[in-house]
Amino acid sequence: MKTQRAIGMEFVGSLILALAIVGSGQMAANLTTDSGLRLFINALATGIGLAFVIRLGVKTSGSHFNPAVTLIMLYLKRINPKLSLGYILAQITGGIMGVAIANFIFDQSALAQSATVRSGSNLFVSEVLATAGLVWIILRFPKRDDLIAIYAPLWIFGGILFTSSTAFANPAITIARSFTTSITGIANESVLAFITAQLIGAVIGLAAALYITNPKLEANE
């Protein structure tokens, strides 16, 4: 039962996060033609949504909501392979469901393929940096969920504003965002590169934690 609740929490949390990201993008596009204001609205809603789901799920599932985070926790032996697979499937399906709901409530096709191509070395490096920072923050405070719920959302809020890729930093959300034609979408052809960059970033974030701030992590600090 505990395992089922944890996987369910990962599904629900990923759904809420995707809904916040895509829904705020839809609303921003409806409210203004100012691209800077649209970006700020999306960044703010994403940060708030992430803070909410982290606090909501931390005691139930650990609040991963991100396959890159789950894989790092698997490496650190904080989660077993079977549960990690359940988490990742829940994160992807929850994210897609959240996007479908966001599309529907803004009178769009529930699932539509995005045509927004996001390519280039600048975007790739942006995703590496955004994900590395996120993972480093999570590992920096292994016993302080309250701090993670503040610093991780702030990092993503800032990352959306200071990276050219707008800090997707999450493979499940990246896949989910390929199913919206809103300003938050990403074309299928760009998804693999983004996910590759995110996984590289996760490894860099892990290395930063292990060798700079948290050398005892591998000993289950």
The per-residue pLDDT for range 129-154, each reduced to its tens digit, is 999 999 999 999 887 888 999 999 99
Q: What is the pLDDT of residue 217?
A: 74
pLDDT band with cut points at 50, 70 and 90 for residue 215:
confident
Q: What is the pLDDT of residue 197?
A: 98
What does pLDDT average to over the chain? Answer: 95
Rounded to an integer, the average pLDDT of 155-167 is 97
Q: What number is the average pLDDT over the span 24-37?
A: 96
pLDDT band at 43 (very low <50, low <70, confident <90, very high): very high
Number of H helices, E strands in the chain: 8, 0
The answer to which of 78-82, 104-108, 215-219 has the lowest mean pLDDT is 215-219
CATH C-level class of 2-219: mainly alpha
| Cβ atoms 218, 153 nearer than 8 A | no
Q: State the pLDDT at residue 2.
A: 87
Distance CA 86, CA 74 (A): 12
- CA–chain centroid gap for 159, Å, is 12
pLDDT over 80 at 98, yes or no:
yes
Q: What is the Cα–Cα distance from 89 to 189, expressed in whole angstroms?
A: 21
Confidence of residue 213 (pLDDT cuts 50, 70, 90): confident
Token reading at 164:
């050219």
Distance CA 16, CA 23 (A): 10
In the chain, what percentage of residues exceed pLDDT 70? Answer: 98
CB 184, CB 25: distance < 8 Å: yes
Closest to 70 (Cα-Cα) out of 48, 43, 57, 182 = 57
pLDDT at 220 over 60: no
